[in-house]
Amino acid sequence: MNSRFRYTTCHLVALGCAMLISLTSTLSAGTLYGVGPGAPTGPFVADASTNNAILIGSLDNPVSITIDPTGPAWGKDFTFNRDGQGWFPGQTVQVHEVIQFVPSTSSAQPADWHETIDPTSGDGGNFVWGTGTLTVLSGTGSFSSSLSTDGRSIWFYFPTLPIPSEISITKTLVWTGGVITPSPNGENNYHIHVDERPSPEPSTLALAFLGIATLLVWKRRQ
């Protein structure tokens, strides 16, 4: 192998790796896929009747969504009623969702799920994500969460799912504000907005590029 060929091969592989890193970073931000119309937006309320948890769908009645690669994020509004409770730093509340991906005109399949708190909406600046687990209800396993540096985004990677499929997601929101003593009942509501997006497998396009690069190298050697 001559030096020029080694140079070309190394640069193709390096470019493919750089593309993989770039795509993984982009998809971790949850920017590729959206959802179709009809996804419920709330407000979803956490209060004494829900044991202070946000509940979206259930095993008996999952929320159905369609994947739209060019659609908007699934925007949801959460309201926390803290009558008689208030807040203290580090306090957590649970969010539980049961979601069914249903067929649509798109052939897109999810392998990644992203959720981001809008810090500029309502009390979003006082919350970050804690831990989370996503379970594929068809029995392919449970998957732990990853977090952005600022804690505002949480995501889950899992094997590419067929459509239809159902997932269950349980995660915590953490109050980062100060101590708040509750006001009279009816005056203790806190609001945040969360955007959620499914995404494809992060490395798919980069691996395709590496395959093309390998083919070009092979042809060059002929």
Is the CA virtual torsion 25, 149, 173, 188 positive or negative? negative
Is the CA virtual torsion 48, 53, 54, 55 positive or negative? negative
Q: Which of 74-78, 118-122, 135-139, 192-196 has the least mean pLDDT?
A: 135-139
Q: Which residue has the higher pLDDT, 106 or 173?
A: 173
Please state which CATH class domain 34-199 belongs to: mainly beta
What is the rounded CA–CA span in Å between residue 156 and residue 113?
Answer: 5
What is the rounded CA–CA span in Å between residue 123 and residue 216?
Answer: 53
The pLDDT of 83-112, averaged and rounded, is 94
Global pTM value: 0.78
pLDDT-derived band of residue 204, with 50, 70 and 90 as boundaries? very low
Average pLDDT for the chain: 84
Is the CA virtual torsion 73, 116, 112, 207 positive or negative? positive
H or E element, residue 82: none
- Residue 161's SS3 state is coil
Burial class (CB within 10 angstroms; exposed 0-12, middle 13-18, buried 19+) of 52: middle
Please say whether the beta carbons of 114 and 196 come within 8 A.
yes
pLDDT for 28 equals 43
List pLDDT tens digits, range 121-180: 999 999 999 999 999 998 889 999 999 999 999 999 999 999 999 999 999 999 999 999
Please say whether the beta carbons of 118 and 153 come within 8 A.
no
List pLDDT tens digits, range 45-72: 999 999 999 999 999 999 999 999 999 9
Is a pLDDT exceeding 70 seen at residue 13? Answer: no
pLDDT-derived band of residue 4, with 50, 70 and 90 as boundaries? low
Please state the domain extents for the chain: 1-32+201-222, 34-199
pLDDT for 205 equals 45
pLDDT-derived band of residue 120, with 50, 70 and 90 as boundaries? very high
CA angle 94/85/120 to nearest 5° reads: 60
User: Residue 30: phi, psi to the nearest 5?
Assistant: 70, 50
pLDDT for 206 equals 46
Which positions ≥6 away from 67 have C-beta within 8 Å? 33, 34, 35, 36, 101, 104, 106, 108, 109, 110, 163, 198
